[in-house]
Amino acid sequence: MPNVKVFDLNAKEVGEIELSQEIFGVEIHPTLMHQAMVMQLANQRLGTAATKTRAMVRGGGKKPWRQKGTGRARAGTIRSPLWVGGGVVFGPHPRKYVKKMPRKARRLALKSALSAKMVASELRILDSLQFEAPKTKQVLEVLKAFELEGKKALFISREYSENVEKSTRNLKGVKAITSMGLNIVDLLHHDAIFLTKDAVTQIEEVFG
């Protein structure tokens, strides 16, 4: 795979890096990427939505009125689904939304996403990603230097940095994660991906 330019935080070229063909240059599999995204989003669901059936609702032991002679429709309980405050028919109950995918398929989906970003020129390699203090302005300056103002950007570094995390979290559509937290939803959701050289090394070590 041809060498890719490495930039500093001012968008100035400071070198080159050779990316692994097996990770950043694989055949793109849209179906696998979609399947992995659906799995991740489904696994985030709590599945705690619940309603009460007529058997669960409190009260309703006594027949509201006698069966015949009142002129009203017959009723056996005030907890009938027809009544306000009654049970719910076919309502949601706690359940698991867990989906699974083979490990090889999950990894291929991530490689496909990285390769797709590479093809679309949405992947940028940074020499390093460090801020002396947590300031949102610093992230805005980086995006401005790369002419990506207003775009959804994902910053991926090898080590967790509190300053980087705090500098990005106040910006809508901007997020910072570590390379070990790499996931298909974040990759596909963001328009621009910033990878540090250390993060590239770790990704190639893990997925290579």
Tens digits of residue pLDDT in 163-181: 999 999 999 999 999 999 9
Q: Own/partner pairs for 29-36, CB < 8 Å, 24+ apart? A: 29/108, 29/109, 29/112, 30/112, 32/105, 32/108, 32/109, 32/112, 33/109, 33/112, 33/113, 33/116, 33/184, 33/188, 35/101, 35/105, 35/109, 36/101, 36/105, 36/106, 36/109, 36/110, 36/184
pLDDT at residue number 125: 95
Residue predicted with more confidence, 2 or 135: 135
pLDDT at residue number 3: 84
Average pLDDT over residues 11-30: 93
Percent of the chain with pLDDT over 70: 99
Percent of the chain with pLDDT over 90: 94
pLDDT of 207 > 90? The answer is no
pLDDT of 2 > 90? The answer is no
Average pLDDT over residues 136-165: 94
pLDDT at residue number 48: 96
Where along the chain do its domains lie?
3-28+98-207, 46-96
pLDDT at residue number 208: 76
Residue predicted with more confidence, 150 or 93: 93
pLDDT of 192 > 70? The answer is yes
Strand boundaries in the chain, DSSP class E: 3-7, 13-18, 123-126, 153-157, 174-178, 192-196
Rounded to whole angstroms, the Cα distance separating 4 from 13 reads 10
25-57 pLDDT tens trace: 999 999 999 999 999 999 999 999 999 999 999
Predicted confidence band at 124 (pLDDT cuts at 50, 70, 90)? very high
Q: Say whether domain 3-28+98-207 belongs to CATH 3.40.50.300.
A: no
